[in-house]
Amino acid sequence: MQLSSGVERIVFIAIFSIFFFHISSCLFVFFAEFEEGAMQVFESWKYQEPYVYYGAFELYITAIYYVVTTMSTVGYGDISGGTTLERIFCIILMLAGVIAFNLISGALGALITNYDSSQAALQEKLLFLNNLRTRYDITNELYFQIKKSLQYDHSRNMTGLDMFINELPANLRLEISAEIHRDKFSEMEWFRKIGNGNFRAWVASKLRPRFSTENNYIY
């Protein structure tokens, strides 16, 4: 299954956030355990009520709660670092939270904007198709074939590959097209008969997937 670059970025942000929350929560509990026996031990959040009665799992959930509220810049203030080491950790976590919150907000905003622009371009094509249908009385069969083709091409172009290749210089477009379609060169006899590598790459760069329904002629 091929995911668009926007979806891949969202998945990466989600996985990284979960991993970061887990590590930070473990460190928050570890620092409380680390200072056991020191003079400041009873100032730690872990030894305040009701947390002093919590088991390992409850402490972990509480630590995640603290990390998430801090990283999201909410900060209710019901939990705070009591020892020097915990305060240093909290300072680092708050600074990281502000930076991460701004970066993630900007990235998600850009993704939504790009998605809206892409959808708007598709809707404009569909609107033009609807106008053609009304003006020239296009049959329903042809209308739905064209509509499915437009939607299929739109889904294929969500990765931005075509846009990326078209912005490259001509010689680099040929080289990257040859690399992308090298499997087709080896599978299709027609390509194997072409001796000129540049011409073969040029033909490959013009290849586009097309949607076709059953029992239709392809020419």
Domains annotated on the chain, with CATH: 5-111 (1.10.287.70), 119-205 (no CATH)
Percent helix / strand / coil, the chain, rounded to 5 = 75, 0, 25
- Say which DSSP state 41 is in: G
Place of tokens 């009520």: 49
Nearest alpha-carbon partner for 177 in 193, 154, 200: 200
According to DSSP, residue 175 is labeled H
- pLDDT band, residue 136 (cuts 50/70/90): confident
* H/E stretch holding 93: helix 84-136
Query: The tokens of 214 are what?
Result: 């059953």
pLDDT digit string (tens) for 37-91? 555 556 788 888 888 888 889 989 999 999 888 888 787 778 888 888 888 888 9
The Cα 54–Cα 56 span in angstroms is 7
Which residues lie closer than 8 Å to 15 by C-beta, 6 or more apart?
none
Instruction: Give the mean model confidence (pLDDT) for residues 171-200.
Output: 69
pLDDT of residue 1: 46
Categorize the per-residue pLDDT at 125 as very low, low, confident or very high, splitting at 50, 70 and 90.
confident
Fill in the DSSP letter of residue 36.
T
CA atoms within 13 A on the CB side of 128: 7
Asked if residues 207 and 181 have their Cβ atoms less than 8 Å apart, the reply is: yes
- Per-residue pLDDT, 149: 77
Q: Report the pLDDT value the prediction gives residue 75, as an integer from 0 to 100.
A: 74
Give me the chain's average pLDDT, please: 76
Distance in angstroms (rounded) separating the CA atoms of residues 97 and 67: 9
Token reading at 21: 């929350």
In this prediction, residue 2 carries a pLDDT of: 47
pLDDT of res. 169? 80
